[in-house]
A and B are shown apart, each in its own frame.
Chain A
Amino acid sequence: MESKNVLVVGSGISGVASALELANAGVSVYLIEKEAVIGGHSASLCCKATDICSKCSACVVSDKIKEAVIHPQITLLTNSTIKGLGGELGNLHVEIIQQPRYVDEERCIACGLCTEVCPTDPKAIYPPFAEATPFSYILDEGLCLRFKGERCDLCQGSCPTKAIEFELKPKERELNVGAIIVATGFDVFDAREKGSLGYGRYPNVLTGLDLEQIFTREGYLRLPTNGKEPRNIAFIQCVGSRDEGHGYCSQVCCKYAMKLAGLINYQNPDTQVTIFYIDLQTAGKGFAQFYEKYKESVRFVRGVPVEILQTISGELEVRFEDISQGKVCRDNFDLVVLSVGISPGKNSWDLARILGINLADDGFFDIKHPLSSNETNIDGVFVAGTCQGPKDIPDSIAHGIAAASKAIQVLAESASQGRGN
């Protein structure tokens, strides 16, 4: 009996978009996610509106995640990964392993009583970040006394809905599905790999993602060191893109840097933002308007710096080649933001091996041929989103929807051919 279910692996924006389309079309969807919360990277991006919307689409992500969590056709399995794949086209058998969560997300009402009584510092049981979905508390095995051998069940005792359970083992289950959509997303380029840029050494060197999270959670930009407002900010583009290890453009960085610069200037017109770039990626719907407005207030310098040093006063000295003058210059900034790129997910290797799908040269999942958008070398297995290559949010959503359409076609074809037993 051919399966009418679809498995979507990964609950970032692309996976969620896929799942929603399928669910709205009446298909039963299993949405699995390796973390305890869904949404992936884009769930913690901030709104970059100034006096008008800057089209960053971060709000679209929160809408879609909410829709997915309450949709009756979507079964959400967090803390879950794929262990094995069997079966045949039309009736794939997928082995899933679900790590114990200890706090049952169906029963947790986020009352906070457990955190109040937890004796450790930092707390071993805590709320997820504010915009997290599902909004259920998380027990950290690494911090919890019980998992270190001590006898403590204070949180369990305080829980009014009996949501906490310690004696849990990883659970295995087998899913029968008609198609699989891999939407496992990306890893942020680890800026520590470019040691000379100072990330991890100097507290006032941040990545673009760090900045987004600061805006979402604090609302204002303040220097990590002294809490003052930065007056002079540098953005460095192409950190982890268009270099020896990454032969591609990450597509999102120029836009997010410019939009963050716009937001910073809107909040504080006196702050000077400088963007160091190779080629400014300003193409795309809705961007030209924004660019026209902000290009006068931002200082653009062609040429990406390779070294940042912290001065005695705590400022960051950026050494770069001023191409128009043809010499090496130094400028001081309060804050440096590294526009880090999109790298292939580290888990891609394992998943590729388990599912039998190919990786391309750059480490992202490969598509069958240039004229396909989601098909892999395995029939019935599709890719969606940044796990296949860098994309911004609208393109990730579109790619997810496209994958859903391919999955539906496979289900229809399997049904009409009466495949499977």
Chain B
Amino acid sequence: METKIGVFLCNCGGAIKNIDFDAAVKKVAKFPGVTCVNLSSDLCLEEGKKKMISCIKEENIERVVVAACSPEFQEHIFRKVLEKAGLNDHLLSMANIREQCSWTHDGDVTEKAVELVKMAVNRVRLLQPMEKKELPVNREVLVVGGGFSASNTVLQLSRVGLRTTLLEKEAVLGAGTEELESFYGFDTGSMISAVEVDKNIEVLTSAQMTEVGGKIGDFSVRIRQEGGEILRKYGAIVLATGHQTELALDSEPQLRAEDEAISGLNIVSQEQFCCMLGNSGLETEPKTIGFMFDFSDENSRFTTLATLNNALAAKKKWGSEIYVFCKNVKVDSEGMEKLYREARDCGVVFLKSEAPPRITAENGRVKIEAKDVFLGEDVILACDVLVAEELYLPAEGAENLSYLLSIRRDSKGFFQDENVHLYPVGSEKKGIFFIGGCRGDLDLGRVLTDISSVVMKVHELLSSGKILVELERVKADPQKCVACLTCIRVCPHGAIQLVRVDGSKEVAEISDLACDACGICAAICPAKAIKFQGYRDEEILAQIEAIQEL
């Protein structure tokens, strides 16, 4: 017996003038399966919706087509109407006869409107009801890293009631916080103590992940520690592995550490300079200091911050002459312009040049030559210490981690693909997040925001212990699946796994939790085994069938 389809047309208050609705209603009533055709002028308003519900109930309608404005803003409203009328809310298809028909074409568009309705009728005839269900998820979170970002994340997660494991590959926590301490007076010690006493936080040091499987709500992680391996389960994973810096001196091969003239303290990193500043036992205070940044790496927010803070500190402590060589000062972070002005007001001299300066050794001092843009001339500086340019790089092990988790990195090797829809802290896989320096050149303000953002995202996902999903929205038919692994390889969200059914056969299983309903797998399956409810082959082809070609 044919399913009873009800078609509801709306003329948008009578404003749609280029569709002959009477003619349209007559044509639509003849479509196979259509038992009821209704014309309204206000379907989206309360009165219109009420009439729709009574019509559905009275006429025992089983499937609904709404021909009106765009589904973009109204589909969810009409789905609720179906629910109230006692129908499964998926048995609805909409025909966009306003924004994509009446409003964009001149002249009479009745024919097109009728065809659009036919397309929707053909599709709705095939739609299957869908159920929603809450699936349980693991509420524990794994945070990889042990520095500022990772530690603050676990502390905040604890405050919202989530238990975490802090996984640090070194033997102690707190790596990479020296600059934060000297720039902001941050107290690493008390942060570590807070982490260690928190009952919701488990700290594993000298520990690394060796294998990761599963999906959001159910990740299985193998962790190797001194003494053995453990297997753990987590609902979400946050990577906060930070960054590393490397001196960008490869243009001057003679300036390697072996060169006697420049071994020792003449050419240092920002971190080493910080130590010099803090070293009360320093033999001689440098009288002339040079800084360099922004020639080899556009991502120099962090180095700008470090340079400004260190230059100011050196000025105040030693009263040295300080010259900064750079191309552009990166001030697009909070407070940076202020700091830049403060440095200049204190007498720090900024020399801007387009090409990187040439660096040589002369009489035990470092000689820097650059063409200053404003003077239009070469400037030569002999200094006691050069704080060299640093490249901002992803932390060691980033490649390995991305391989373990099968997640993409950006063109510079930092975590998180550059796709704008993933920002701020997401990855293409639900339940895996990145924060802080491991995803790019961030300043303190942005790092703090990352931390709170990921806490919110994780809390949203896991705090109730269950996630509402549409059951079997996309499903691989175990009878047809030949386990060719194609869908597993192409799924951008890592939502498909191979599982054993009936004791022997291996088939692809699509996780309702991790699936993001794109349909790439359904299109690529060579055996046509994957059914994507609402967008199955038959549902798409039925729409094409409805188009009358001559």
Contacts and interface: CB of A to CB of B under 8 A. Distances in A.
A86 interface: no
Contacts of B457: 21, 401
Given A112-B15, A113-B14, A326-B376, A26 B298 contact: no
Most buried by A among B72, B186, B331, B416: B331
B413 to A, nearest CB: 12
B440 interface: yes
B45 A161 contact: yes
Contacts of A106: 45
A412 B156 CA distance: 12
Contact of A242 (B41, B337, B441): B337
A402 B13 contact: no
B13 A285 contact: no
Contact of A60 (B45, B341, B416, B421): B421
B336 A249 contact: yes
A111 B15 contact: yes
A220 to B, nearest CB: 19
A249 B331 contact: yes
A287 B453 CA distance: 22
Interface in B172-194: 184, 186
B444 A370 contact: yes
A298 to B, nearest CB: 15
B45 A394 contact: no
A248 B184 contact: no
B213 interface: no
A282 B298 contact: yes
A306 interface: no
Given A279-B328, A279-B329, A394-B424, A408 B452 contact: no
Interface string A390-419: 000011011101111110110010000000
B334 A160 contact: no
A251 B333 CA distance: 7
B69 to A, nearest CB: 8
Contact of A398 (B336, B414, B453, B464): B453
Contact of A249 (B186, B332, B373, B448): B332
B42 A291 contact: no
A111 B159 CA distance: 50
Contacts of B300: 283
Contact of B452 (A70, A112, A389, A402): A402
B331 A281 contact: yes
Contact of A287 (B44, B298, B374, B455): B298
A107 B460 contact: no
Nearest to B334: A389
A398 B332 contact: no
Contact of B44 (A109, A254, A405, A408): A109
A154 interface: no
A66 B76 CA distance: 12
Nearest to A253: B332
Most buried by B among A69, A372, A408: A408
A323 B298 CA distance: 22
Most buried by A among B186, B336, B445, B450: B445
A284 B304 CA distance: 13
A398 B436 CA distance: 12
B272 interface: no
A160 B420 contact: no
Contacts of A404: 456
Contacts of B445: 373
B410 A21 contact: no
A81 to B, nearest CB: 26
Given A59-B420, A111-B13, A284-B441, A405 B73 contact: no
B118 interface: no
A402 B450 CA distance: 7
B24 to A, nearest CB: 18
A287 B299 CA distance: 9
Interface size bracket, B side: 35 or more
B376 A281 contact: no
A75 to B, nearest CB: 16
B316 interface: no
Contacts of B423: 57, 60, 394, 397-398
A12 to B, nearest CB: 16
A107 B424 CA distance: 36
A60 B420 contact: yes
B425 A398 contact: yes
A87 interface: no
Contacts, number: 185
A284 B332 contact: yes
A279 B449 CA distance: 25
Contact of B12 (A109, A242, A403): A109
Contact of B463 (A25, A288, A289): A25
A152 interface: no
Contacts of A326: 376
Interface string A98-139: 000000001101111100000000000000000000010000
Given A25-B459, A70-B73, A160-B15, A281 B330 contact: yes
B12 A21 contact: no
Interface string A14-57: 00000001001110000000000000000000000000010111
A401 B452 contact: yes
A115 to B, nearest CB: 10
B378 to A, nearest CB: 14
B447 to A, nearest CB: 9
Contacts of A313: none
B446 interface: yes
A325 B330 CA distance: 25
Given A53-B420, A286-B418, A398-B446, A279 B330 contact: yes
A153 B195 CA distance: 67
A405 B373 CA distance: 46
B411 interface: yes
B301 interface: yes
A161 B13 contact: yes
Given A111-B14, A160-B15, A283 B460 contact: no
B73 A66 contact: yes
A247 B298 contact: no
Interface in B247-270: none
Nearest to A18: B456
Contacts of B463: 25
A404 to B, nearest CB: 5
A21 B341 contact: no
B364 interface: no
Given A25-B463, A286-B410, A69 B331 contact: no
B161 interface: yes
Interface string B367-386: 00000011010000000000
Contacts of A109: 12-13, 15, 42, 44-45, 69
Interface string B51-91: 00000000000000000010011001100000000000000
Contacts of A302: 352, 373
A328 interface: no
A63 B72 CA distance: 11
Given A285-B414, A286-B418, A398 B72 contact: no
A324 interface: yes
B376 A160 contact: no
B412 interface: yes
Given A247-B341, A284-B440, A373-B452, 11 more contacts: A159-B13, A251-B332, A279-B352, A302-B373, A324-B373, A326-B376, A371-B444, A395-B449, A401-B424, A402-B452, A406-B452
**Which 5 residue pairs are nearest across A and B when measured between Cβ atoms?**
A160-B13, A111-B15, A402-B452, A405-B456, A398-B424
Interface of A: 21, 24-26, 53, 55-57, 59-60, 63, 66, 69-70, 106-107, 109-113, 135, 159-161, 242, 247-249, 251, 254, 279-289, 291, 302, 323-326, 370-374, 389, 394-395, 397-399, 401-406, 408-409, 412
14 contacts: A26-B464, A56-B420, A160-B15, A161-B42, A247-B337, A281-B328, A281-B331, A284-B441, A325-B376, A373-B449, A395-B424, A398-B424, A398-B425, A405-B455
